[in-house]
Amino acid sequence: MLGIMIGALVIFTIAGCTSAGSKGGSSDGADKTDVSVNEILEGIKGQIVQDIKDAGFDDGQSDVEILQGYVETNLVEIATDDPFGQIFFERTGLDKELLAEGSMYMPMFNTNADEIIILKAKDDKGADTLKASLQKELDAQIQTWERYLPDQYEKVKNNVLKTKGNYVLYVTYGNVGAVEKVFDEKVK
């Protein structure tokens, strides 16, 4: 009887270690995370609000009022009348079939190069393909801003484009490090 109990304990221990190990990382060392793109974006919006307040552009407005100059586009459930999304897909050649979730957040007016894109691929291999599509977006932004507004071009040159597991982050923003930190904290 004692042998059976020890054998069962060994089997459960091995099974527990195997299942705990299978939850581990991806090719870039990140743990698998199941956080929504919307949750990541909400954290980033909070950072944008804080940056605007820190810069002294807060006249007592609510966070929603502060962010009303930005446009959010759901890249999975894109509306046919959404010009930002349509142009984005044409410019990048991004394969929508690889997306589990995706959002683009940018100013409404084209005098600001800020652009934050968060994609969640259906798998890690898709993330690499999505990242390559976003490189096309970065190349297009470089061509646009290097001739248009020098201060905005500096932001584009400091762009962060990276993958973490099956998530892809694209950030052109004045405080790119803070946005990247929010992403890294959410996607563990």
119-170 confidence digits (pLDDT tens) = 999 988 899 999 999 999 999 999 999 988 999 999 999 999 999 999 999 9
Cα atoms found within 13 Å of the Cα of residue 177, Cβ hemisphere only: 0
The stretch 67-79 carries a mean pLDDT of: 90
The stretch 59-79 carries a mean pLDDT of: 90
**Alpha-carbon 50 to chain mean position:** 19
* Same domain, residue pair 180 and 92: yes
User: Who wins on pLDDT, 33 or 28?
Assistant: 33
* Same domain, residue pair 4 and 62: no
* Same domain, residue pair 14 and 82: no
Q: Is 90 exposed, middle or buried (0-12, 13-18, 19+ CB in 10 A)?
A: exposed
Residue 124: predicted pLDDT: 80
* Same domain, residue pair 161 and 90: yes
Q: Which residues pair with 25 in a beta bridge?
A: 31
Domain that holds residue 5: 1-25
Which amino acid is residue 92, in one-letter code? T
Structural domain total, the chain: 2
Residue 109: predicted pLDDT: 86
* Same domain, residue pair 49 and 106: yes
* Same domain, residue pair 18 and 69: no
pTM: 0.80
* Same domain, residue pair 112 and 157: yes
* Same domain, residue pair 20 and 106: no
* Same domain, residue pair 91 and 131: yes
* Same domain, residue pair 38 and 122: yes
Can you read off the two tokens belonging to residue 66? 């502060």
Read off the pLDDT of residues 74-115 as tens digits, 9 standing for 90 and up. Answer: 999 887 777 778 888 999 999 999 999 999 999 988 899 999
* Same domain, residue pair 135 and 153: yes
Question: Could you tell me what percent of the chain has a pLDDT over 70?
Answer: 82
Residue 32: predicted pLDDT: 55
Can you read off the two tokens belonging to residue 159? 């762009």
